[in-house]
Amino acid sequence: MHQYILEVARITEVEGAGAMFQLLSTVWARLRPALLVSLLVAWSSILCSKTSPSVFEGTSAVVAANPPRQSNGFTDVVQWDNYTLFLHDQRLFIHAGEFHTFRLPVPELWLDIFQKMVAAGFNGVSIYIHMGVINPSPGILDFNDWRSLQAIYEAAKVAGIFVILRPGPYINGETTSGGIAHWITSQVAGTVRTNATDWTAAYQPYISGIINESVHYQVTEGGPLLAVQIDNENRNSPDPSTEEYFAQLENQYREGGIVVPLTYNDPGMRSGFINGTGHVDIYGLDAYPQGFNCSTPRTWSHVTTNYHQYHEANNPSEPWYMPEFQGGSFDPWGGPGYDACELLTGPDFQDVFYKHNWAANVKMISYYMLYGGTSWGGIPFPGVYTSYDYGSSIRENRALTDKFDEVKRQGMFIRSSPQFLKTDWIGNSSLGIPGVTLNGSAAFVTSLRNPDSNTWFHVTRQADSTSTANISFTLTVPTSQGMLTLPRTTDSIALNGRQSKLIITDYSFGVHGSLLYSTASVFFAGTIGSRDVLFLYGFADQSHEFALNMTGNGVRTSSSRVQFGTSDTINDLTTVAIVPGSAGLLTIWDSDKQLILFSEPVTAASFWAPAIRAETSSTVAGLESYWWFGTNTTVLVGGPYLVRNATLSRDRNTLALRGDLNVSVPLIVIAPPSVRAVSWNGNPVAMRSDGRGVLTGNLQLNADIENAKVPRLKGWRYKDSLPEIQPGFDDSDWVVANHTTTNIFQKPLFGDGRVLYGCDYGFCENTVLWRGHFNGTGSETSVNLTIYGGTFFASSVWINDKFIGTVTSSADHVNGLFPFPEGAVITGLNNVITVIQENMGNDEQANIKPARGIAGFQLDSGNFTAWKVQGKIGGYTNYPDKVRGVLNEGGLFGERHGWHLPGFDTSDWTLRDLAEGLPGSSAGVGFFVTTFDLAFPEDTDPFVSFQFEMKNTQPYRALLFVNGWMFGKRVANLGPQTKFPVPPGILDCNGKNTVAIVLWALEDTSVFPTLDLIVDDVLHGGVGPIPLHSPAWKLRE
């Protein structure tokens, strides 16, 4: 390679840059891209040593020869090179977040999440599809209701966001069986996620269904579907049977008409499926540098320092893709709760770690999770509880957070900065950066450079990324005006503890705007009307500096925080220094050609830049709502909680805004000067105009919204839900548990060989009841049982109507000796051992076929004559509730009869308050049901939750059913969850609601649960009316 380096240097000196780039085009065909990057770095070093620093000069440099584009051979609509994807010949930085629609089972609210993501500058959403809910039994595919893929795609098109579909069949996601349908864990003998023939036959109909629902929504046909992921986090990539499985999946997609790129998410740096059998089009990996322990949320891990080197060594000709990067953390049973997880991965984490990914030249990334949602019903695997809030940027109740503000600041920069899409990694503080000098050993810098525009992006952080100390430094960098040491007029660049900054040089904005350098961050850059607009931000307690050519006739700010200067050394550009001071928006320069703004980060995040549909000759059909591909027209709107969309009237005089409001706020709009009127959610707003496109007014929140209240839950009705322990209970219609073989990994441990695993009899989720019969001789004194239910499960055991005890475990099973109470055995008659076995979900990864049931059973004298089993009515083949689906119910008596459903008649039940617990202070299971009315004001989006008592000290478990949906599992002596958000669509916000609590008292002791409705917030706005998705009770056979 050295000969190429010397030749590049010689040609550049003698013949100029154009000849040099011709040579590089030839070199590209001969060298791997990783070596070419090394060549460029080395060439830069040679030139720096032989010439003045001005070798980097010129924002109008000759455009570098692009590396050859690649495609999968099925379409050229989506291509890629080593930098980014290309879509319809435009570069595309994929800035995405993870959202699982099955964790928000109200399709009308998917648009809410999509619009919030787009409002934060995201252009992609990554979506797991859970096979288990779509393919509940062999031969059944259900894409109706909240399982719909078409509803996902249609909402994505409206919002203007691309979809990266991740349908598995294995997804992980802290879901039961990692997404694989439960019936497969029992019915398939072969090894899943290999080329085993029975596994192949099991999953292929599901994939065919995914293809049929998706094929006409690909970006090649004007749809939002940009890519499809193959499987997920497969730890067996070198295994030939796994490679063949990947190849079979890929062939099925291609034969079915899927032409967009196929991708893969590696669980860490394993180099799987990059080459060879089963290799994908675009490889990526996931990373969770903070781990999943939220108990010490201010304890940080160090950033990973070899991301760039790993990419260059493994797949340098592809964009650097991270399909999952940490956006929060799951929290286990007994954990500290999701507020701690939000703190662990808070805005400071995002600032340092996300920009560190930029420093590695990552150009495709998705944050897991951006919205976590709710693991309702039987969705979760045993390691997590109902809430899947994840400490995400959008919380479980759909509220926006400070984390949302930070990803929004980053997202708006990416959206505003086409020069950032094509950058070469030049070097860092550890390996050296040609032409760049860092003055300050406590700081660390990585430098990227756009080879076409000579724009430099210097990503700075503390050398110890965990440090909480405040430091400062200066940076000597090449610019189009020669070498400059930044800052030039203030003392230094400040970095607080756990802060990162992007120092930019030779950055273009709008049509004519040019920023020589900035130590402040870019929030927005673009054109609004005829003006080039630049919005910078930085902490109010730090100094900031930037230099640019101020054009047009205008006015400078008179703020004492701002100092202006000029210098011959930078061709009379204006240097602007911002000194520490109060927060708020500063209009640095306001002219007929430019508008330059500055604020601290919080104020910046209060602004929105909605894409305004304005079709041009370059608009891509079907993508009219998408930024870059459909429109480049926008405005800036400051003040509201959220701006969902904006439209301009045909005469461009009226701007119609739609969004959300939770308090009264000042409104500022920066629009084309033709705009004279503004409306908010259809109502005109009185505005004052400065004549150049800046309009100000106020948005008022109605008093009835501020004062919205919810009723107290009262009038509870109660009924016992464990008749199975009563004398004479008839279980003749239960399933006889008489199998002697199983595909479950754990074979029976002891007994008479009968298999007592629920899924082998169609009962794979939630609560399962077992009844073991034996003829009493009087010599029986105990039963030995080994019960599997998943980590933190519980199981209660009775003999006849006498309670023996309850076992719980942090492991997935318990072996226990259950001694019979005196006189419990009825001599000469049939006796019954009744076992309530809780299923906390199936495991993921290696233990994909876990035991759930009774792995061992033995009386101390005699044998069982029969075992009967009952789970949810109909099992997975004939369950009656097709809307809520296969994972919503369990096998408790009340569930089987639909007591939890709205419309079930409880008028003859006993009046008993929930706080009184079960009668007689005894162990058992009871149903408590009541109804309540809600009447929120029109055009509102309420965030409502059900709150149990705050302490986790009582020995009970509870299921929360809201209008028939199991939206909570409470473990009152473990926690941490006591609060359960329920969205509109599950909750009727303007009508009658039914809430049912299944109370399982674990011991013969009193329990006193309480439950209240609470309002977290009420927003004026939302996505419109949300229909109720809660079918009423019907008689069940």
| Residue 10, amino acid | R
Alpha carbon 385 to chain centroid, angstroms: 17
Structure tokens at 1010: 């309480």
Structure tokens at 206: 């599901």
How far from each other are the two terminal CA atoms of the chain, in whole angstroms?
78
Question: Strands across the sheet with 1011-1020, in order?
Answer: 979-982, 940-948, 1011-1020
DSSP code of 781?
-
DSSP string across 139-193 = T-----GGG-SHHHHHHHHHHT-EEEEE--S---TTBGGGG--HHHHHH--SPTT
Beta strands in 761-877 (DSSP E): 768-775, 782-788, 794-799, 802-808, 813-819, 830-837, 853-859, 866-870
| Residue recorded with tokens 């009656």 | 880
Cα–Cα distance for residue pair 457/276, rounded to 1 Å: 36
Cα–Cα distance for residue pair 843/1015, rounded to 1 Å: 35
CA-wise closest residue to 24 among 38, 13, 40, 3: 40
Query: Do residues 873 and 866 touch, judged by C-beta distance below 8 A?
Result: no
Cα–Cα distance for residue pair 418/862, rounded to 1 Å: 78
Length of the chain counted residue by residue: 1037
CB atoms within 10 A of CB 530: 15
Helix (H, G, I), strand (E, B) or coil at 569: helix
Q: What is the phi/psi pair of residue 973, to 5°?
A: -105, 15
Query: Do residues 506 and 479 touch, judged by C-beta distance below 8 A?
Result: yes
| Residue recorded with tokens 């708006």 | 412
Cα–Cα distance for residue pair 590/644, rounded to 1 Å: 27
Distances (CA, A) of 1011 to 203, 236, 299, 917, 950: 42, 47, 35, 12, 10
Q: What is the phi/psi pair of residue 853, to 5°?
A: 150, -145
| HSE (side-chain half, CA atoms, 13 Å) at 975 | 16
Cα–Cα distance for residue pair 155/148, rounded to 1 Å: 11
Alpha carbon 202 to chain centroid, angstroms: 28
Cα–Cα distance for residue pair 861/764, rounded to 1 Å: 31
Annotated catalytic residue within 213, 324, 342, 780: 324
Annotated catalytic residue within 174, 213, 233, 780: 233
Q: 233 catalytic, yes or no? A: yes
Q: What is the phi/psi pair of residue 698, to 5°?
A: -140, 145
Three state DSSP letters for 49-101: HHCCHHHHCCCCCCCCCCCCCECCCCCCCEEECCCCEEECCEEECEEEEEECH
Q: 324 catalytic, yes or no? A: yes
Strands 362-371 and 94-99: parallel
Q: Which run of H or of E encompasses 225?
A: strand 225-229
**Cα-trace Rg, the chain:** 31
Query: Do residues 448 and 455 touch, judged by C-beta distance below 8 A?
Result: no
Q: Count Cβ atoms within 10 A of the Cβ of residue 469 and give its class: 0-12 exposed, 13-18 middle, 19 or more buried.
A: exposed
Query: Do residues 668 and 699 touch, judged by C-beta distance below 8 A?
Result: no
DSSP string across 289-312 = TTTT-TTSTT--PPPPS-HHHHHH
Alpha carbon 237 to chain centroid, angstroms: 25
Cα–Cα distance for residue pair 975/333, rounded to 1 Å: 6
Helix (H, G, I), strand (E, B) or coil at 573: coil
- Which residues participate in catalysis according to the annotation? 233, 324
